Amino acid sequence: MSGELKKMIIEAYREEDYSGSVAESFEVMFNPNTYTQKYDIKYEARQGQGDTGSPQVFGNIEPQEYSFEFLFDGTGAAVVEQDVHTTVERFLTVTGKHDGDIHRPLYLKLSWGALISKCVLKSAEVTYTLFKSDGYPLRAKVKAVFAENIEDTLRVAEERKNSPDLTHVYSVVQGDHLSLLAHKYYGDASRYLQVAQYNNLNNYRVLKPGQILAFPPIKELDESPVTV
């Protein structure tokens, strides 16, 4: 039905590649009002003695992080009355407690609208805010941080698809420049002359849409020095 409320689902798997059936699942009580998506790119500053500036040398891209604040309410005012402490423990068991079968926490998949993320729980901070007269909690807030989890085969494939150690075949599109393509595949725009010579280009300044270019491994490129 259009407009039907869809709650966030957290599914947990025992297999790193998320194969097989769902081991555990948890549906949040209330969808979060906001969430934070964090990108963290690491660079290393390399500065020579006496230099006033330093180039930022790329190091790596950290896994994306998603931060949520989940509300648990056991008063019965908004949802069916339930034991808040038990529900919070259930959330922590599904998302972050040690699983005896795989000797680590389960692998998670968050699903909510456009957000579908394979991840693991990085941290959870529980704050109880309302209590019964006997001390049992009636409300709780959980600040949870999930870190993106990409299996090794997919991560390596993604990181290597533009690797300078592989041969790439590229079909030129309108607006392409050889120097920019050299930078894309080798991280060095000045290699455009080597690429031009490798591809036997008579006029490297004018690339035609549909033209096929080969970008060989960087070692192979270096074995063919530019001849003037």
Q: Residue 9: helix, strand or coil by DSSP?
A: strand
Quick one: pLDDT at residue 54?
61
Q: pLDDT tens digits for 96-118?
A: 999 999 999 999 999 998 888 89
What is the mean predicted confidence (pLDDT) over 16-45? 89
Please, what sign has the CA dihedral across residues 155, 10, 72, 94? negative
Q: pLDDT tens digits for 133-169?
A: 999 999 999 999 999 887 544 444 444 455 555 678 8
Q: Residue 219: helix, strand or coil by DSSP?
A: helix
State which H helix or E strand residue 196 sits in. helix 192-198
On the 0-12 / 13-18 / 19+ scale of CB atoms within 10 A, 94 is buried
Distance CA 120, CA 132 (A): 33
Q: Tell me the one-letter amino acid at 61.
A: I
Residue 121 lies in a domain: yes
- Report the CATH number that the domain containing residue 195 is assigned in CATH: 3.10.350.10
Tell me, letter by letter, the H, E, C secondary structure of 88-113.
Answer: HHHHHHHHCCCECCCCECCEEEEEEC
| Number of folded domains that form the chain | 2
Residue 2 lies in a domain: no
Distance CA 226, CA 45 (A): 32
Residue 56 lies in a domain: yes
Q: pLDDT tens digits for 177-199?
A: 999 998 888 888 888 999 999 89
Eight-class DSSP state of 157: H
- The neighbour count for residue 209, using CB atoms within 10 Å, is 10
- Check: CB of residue 83 under 8 Å from CB of residue 134: no
- Check: CB of residue 145 under 8 Å from CB of residue 174: no
pTM: 0.63
Q: Which of 156, 178, 200 is the last residue of a domain?
A: 156
- Report the CATH number that the domain containing residue 39 is assigned in CATH: 2.40.30.200
Average pLDDT, the chain: 84
Torsion angle, CA of 203/209/214/217, rounded to 10 degrees?
100
Quick one: pLDDT at residue 18?
87
Q: pLDDT tens digits for 55-88?
A: 666 666 778 899 999 999 999 888 888 899 999 9
| Residues 108 and 138 occupy one common structural domain | yes
Quick one: pLDDT at residue 113?
87
Strands 35-38 and 41-45: unpaired
Residue 213 lies in a domain: yes
pLDDT band at 3; cut points 50, 70, 90: low
Task: Indicate whether 32 pLDDT > 90.
Answer: yes
Q: Which of 122, 141, 156 is the last residue of a domain?
A: 156
Quick one: pLDDT at residue 47?
55
The fraction of the chain above a pLDDT of 70, given in percent, is 82
Phi, psi of 86 (to 5 degrees): -65, -40
pLDDT band at 31; cut points 50, 70, 90: very high
Quick one: pLDDT at residue 50?
56
Quick one: pLDDT at residue 111?
93
